[in-house]
Amino acid sequence: MPKKVVVIGGGIAGIQASLDLADMGYEVHLVEKTPSIGGRMAQLDKTFPTNDCSMCILSPKMIMCAGHENVTLHTYSEVEEVSGQFPHLKVKIKEKARFVNIDKCTGCGDCIAKCPVKVPDEFEQKLSKRKAIYLPFPQAVPRKVTIDGETCRMIKSGKCGVCKKVCQAGAIEFEQKDKLIEIDASAIVVATGFDLMDASALPQYGYGSCKDVVASLQFERILSASGPMGGHLVRPSDGSTPKKLAFIQCVGSRDEKMHKYCSSVCCMYATKESILAREHVPDIETTIFYMDMRAVGKGFQEFVQRAEKNYGVRYVRSRPAKVQPARGDKGVLVTYETRGLAGEQVSEEFDLLVLCPALLPSKGSKPLAKLLGLELDEDDFLKAKDMRHPVDSTRKGILVCGFASGPMDIPDSVAQASGVAARVAELLQGGG
């Protein structure tokens, strides 16, 4: 009878931890709050510094994870309650009603085509709309649709039910209720990842007030071949192709008033997105406003140099003071200070501005920490037990990996995820 491990969070860290634990022979229950695993990485177009296509390398892992004999996916689910102590933890998981029988659903999408309700698409960072019954993204795992009860007419008002009519598999079950299941777990892995800070918290940067100011993850979707713009780099205000592009780094991070820490990955993804922008629009001119260019990983410095030399990216060390609409509601005017004591204020116009906001521990992680009885560090990331145990939480038998434990890029998250698997094995072997 294999020991059970509950992994919370179905992003790349959670997927990797699950795969390694499953390969080690543990029975893994992977809990993901959205309808599909994949997490943030699924939203990325390419990955730095190799510009590998993100989905190309992630999708096989997702499929492997779902298909693994030792992995049970609980998507669209959340951990409700945890009782007991290591190695006898009782984990209550709420499988939210998706009003679809996923054993019957074939993911054919007929229902989606017919659904009359359109709502902003979270996966596409609200740049486009999805239906009330939806597949979060084409490569979703499991490839099963979900009805979002908040917006579905039938659920809300009992009027509609088109999806049920068109579904030949008979998979639609409006009467479905949330389901509670309990798992006797020996250990728990937390990999809840990150959310972007809402940049409108800093009005001076014009997010929300200027149409042509987007957050970096939105820009990532704009660049993506499978994104809302069909892989065409256009700006929101008028759908025209931007010729002058700017990035502002450290929006709300490395900031005494907001978030003090450095999000670790923004310098690199901004550089990547500038390179990709050039590949979309050969004559685009990109400027990156930054504080320190933190290119500390393998091939990162070379990547930045390549951006500068071969892709005409201009790096300006300055923290812009303010952003306002340029002409009417099109384009933006960025005001920043030039270098040196005698540095004066200059204003420069750009067609499109990308903000790189602080990356925060995901919204869910604080309540989860409370529920699990875990300490947070002063930046609200899950605190590590001590120097010797960087992937142990402050509570025995509960491990942490990926961005939930602090800002880090994909390879560091993956390494930590595997590291967590080792720690679980040590603990369950009776080790300290």
Near another protein in 101-140, by CB under 8 A? 103-104, 106, 108-110, 138-139
Q: Does 184 bind another protein (CB under 8 A)?
A: no
Q: Does 154 bind another protein (CB under 8 A)?
A: no
Instruction: Using CB under 8 A, pick the residue from 35, 49, 228, 320 that binds another protein.
Output: 49
Question: In terms of CB distance, is 141 or 332 closer to another protein?
Answer: 141
* Contact letters for another protein, residues 336-365 (x by CB under 8 A): ---xxxxx----------------------
Q: How far is the CB of 333 from another protein (least distance, A)?
A: 25
Q: How far is the CB of 2 from another protein (least distance, A)?
A: 11
What residues numbered 228-247 form the site for another protein, per CB under 8 A?
230-231
Instruction: Using CB under 8 A, pick the residue from 217, 381, 382, 395 that binds another protein.
Output: 381
What residues numbered 268-287 form the site for another protein, per CB under 8 A?
none
Question: In terms of CB distance, is 350 or 403 closer to another protein?
Answer: 403
Q: Does 297 bind another protein (CB under 8 A)?
A: yes
Q: Does 422 bind another protein (CB under 8 A)?
A: yes
Q: Does 294 bind another protein (CB under 8 A)?
A: yes
| Neighbour tally for 305: CB within 10 Å | 12
Q: Does 30 bind another protein (CB under 8 A)?
A: no
Q: How far is the CB of 106 from another protein (least distance, A)?
A: 6
Q: How far is the CB of 112 from another protein (least distance, A)?
A: 11
Q: Does 55 bind another protein (CB under 8 A)?
A: yes
The pairs formed by 47-54 with CB atoms below 8 angstroms and a separation of 24 or more are 47/272, 47/410, 48/268, 48/269, 48/271, 48/272, 48/300, 48/303, 49/268, 49/272, 49/297, 49/298, 49/299, 49/300, 49/302, 49/303, 50/299, 51/272, 51/275, 51/276
Instruction: Using CB under 8 A, pick the residue from 6, 20, 172, 210 that binds another protein.
Output: 20
Q: Does 264 bind another protein (CB under 8 A)?
A: yes
Count of positions on this chain that bind another protein (CB under 8 A): 95
Instruction: Using CB under 8 A, pick the residue from 83, 204, 240, 305 that binds another protein.
Output: 305
* b/e 143-157 (16+ beta carbons within 10 angstroms → b): bbbbbbbebbebbee
Q: Does 61 bind another protein (CB under 8 A)?
A: yes
Q: How far is the CB of 342 from another protein (least distance, A)?
A: 7
Question: In terms of CB distance, is 10 or 419 closer to another protein?
Answer: 419
Q: How far is the CB of 18 from another protein (least distance, A)?
A: 12
